[in-house]
Structure 1
Amino acid sequence: MKKLLTGAALSSLLALSATASQAADYVIDREGQHAFINFKISHLGFSWMYGSFNDFSGKFSWDANAPEASQIEVDLKTASVDTNHAERDKHLRSSDLLNVDENPTARFVSKKVSSTDGKTLDITGDLTLNGVTREVNVDAEFIGEGEDPWGAYRAGFAGTTRIKLKDYNIMMNLGPASEEVELIISFEGIRQ
């Protein structure tokens, strides 16, 4: 009986260590331009205005066999906002909106990841923007992973979330159609 219990315990430890060995840390690939943080917001209810944040960095851990153990952190420079219109971008950086002089960095840190099928992820985390931290939920998709042609190993994801501007002390009234902004995130990470 003792041998049977010892064997079962050893098998459990081996299975646990095999699972743990599959978890990996990744750095978001900004240098290769395989990462994007975009947004869209209604312009007065007449059309969509699209933009990007061009300067950000991040890292994540990922194990396809245990997505709930995943973590992600992303930092972005708010002054890197780009809507392809210099005067509008200047206004976005002002104290009316992103207030980049006082709050030059926005940050997202995950707190919980859940998945029902291994492909669709529900990521809950804290988003800090304009000096305010609030919990948000990101609807994400695991796109794929594998070795690239240059010998590195990559994993890719995409996700969206919506935030209310007033929740982040952005009080400028842009009209009822423009109270929320949709964030659209897509990135590849390179395994370290």
Structure 2
Amino acid sequence: MKFKVMAFLVAMAAAVPAFAQQAGPTTDLAKLEGGVFTVDKGHAKILFSYSHFGYSTSYGLFTDFDAKLTFDPKAPTSSTLEATINLDGIETMVAKLNEHLKTPDFFDTAKFPSASFKSTKITVISPTTGTVTGDLTLHGVTKPVTLDVTFNGGGTNMAKKYDLGFNATGHVKRSDFGLGAYVPMVGDDIALTISAEFNRVQ
């Protein structure tokens, strides 16, 4: 038993230098690297929430999406973001509701299988905060949407890939996109919470 404990401690001690080399992300623009990035689907979430008859807040998420970010640390406002969401990947943890949301009452995924977002303006507020405004196309309707963004930093991860990380929040009025079923009993305001890591591809 003593030998097993000692072997475990030795293994842990050997692993410490490898972890210590990971300095973590930096938000210093002078130290950041630019390029073209794609979303790391294993470390990204798009969550939504809304009021349910005023009694509770209902939550869900989109499980299938792609995003491409072109990032320039020397001119962050010239960066661009594009995303596509497969609406068939909606998940509320309630199977009947998932299916209902795909019908013509709501997203009508047979006719409108995806939503897209394309940035049109990026505003830097501080070294770690800003806004991204873009055109959201949903249910055949295109409207501008602004996200409040927090930059978590960039750096090389344990897999030796260069990453950037962001959190974002925003609001969408669903009736603006022809998705007004059951308003106002079921909330018209949809709150978005997004977190994503991006891996550099070039």
TM-score normalised by structure 2 residue count: 0.81
1:118-150, CA deviations, whole angstroms, 9 ceiling, x for partnerless residues? Answer: 211111100001110001111111111100011
Correspondence for 1:159: 168
Mark the runs of 5 or more structure 2 residues left unpaired by the alignment: 1-29
CA contact (8 A) 1:39 1:51 kept: yes
The answer to whether the aligner puts 1:133 opposite 2:142 as a matched pair is: yes
Q: Which amino acid aligns with 1:83?
A: T
Whole-angstrom distance in 2 between the partners of 1:80 and 1:178: 21
1:64 Cα deviation after fit: 3.1
Work out whether residues 52 and 185 of structure 2, in 8 Å CA contact, stay in contact via their aligned partners in 1.
Answer: no
Q: Which residue identity does 2:131 align to in structure 1?
A: D
Partner of 1:78: 87
Residue identity in the other structure for 1:82:
E
Aligned: 1:113 with 2:108: no
Q: 1:102 offset after TM fit, Å?
A: 0.6
Q: How many residues align?
A: 171
Residues of 2 paired with 1:176 and 1:72: CA distance? 34
SS in 2 for 1:34: strand
CA distance in 2, matches of 1:177, 1:142: 32
Instruction: Give the Cα separation in 2 of the matches to 1:150 and 1:90.
Output: 38
One-letter amino acid of the structure 2 residue matched with residue 91 of structure 1: H
RMSD value, Cα:
1.6
Corresponding residue of 1:61: 70
- State how far apart, in whole Å, the 2-side matches of 1:171 and 1:50 are: 17
TM-superposition CA deviations, 1:14-56 (whole Å, max 9, x none):
xxxxx9x9431101011xx101111011111111111011111
Aligned to 1:29: 40
**2:107 aligned residue (72, 81, 98):** 98
Give yes or no for contact 2:165–2:197 (8 Å, CA) kept in 1: yes
Query: Structure 1 residues 148, 64: CA separation in 2 closer, same or farther (over 3 Å shift)?
Result: same
| Identity fraction in percent | 33
Q: TM-score, with normalisation over the residues of structure 1?
A: 0.85
Q: Give the Cα separation in 2 of the matches to 1:118 and 1:48.
A: 33
CA distance in 2, matches of 1:166, 1:174: 8
Which 4+ runs in 1 deviate beyond 4 A? none
Which is further off, 63-72 or 168-177? 168-177
Query: Which structure 1 segments of 5+ residues have no match?
Result: 1-18
Q: Are the equivalent residues in 2 in contact too, given 1:44–1:174 (CA < 8 A)? A: no
Q: 2 CA distance for matches of 1:65 and 1:48?
A: 41
Residue 160 of structure 1: CA displacement? Answer: 1.1
Distance 1:176 1:51 in 2: 18
Give distance in 1, aligned partners of 2:64 and 2:180.
Answer: 25
Secondary structure of residue in 2 paired with 1:29:
strand
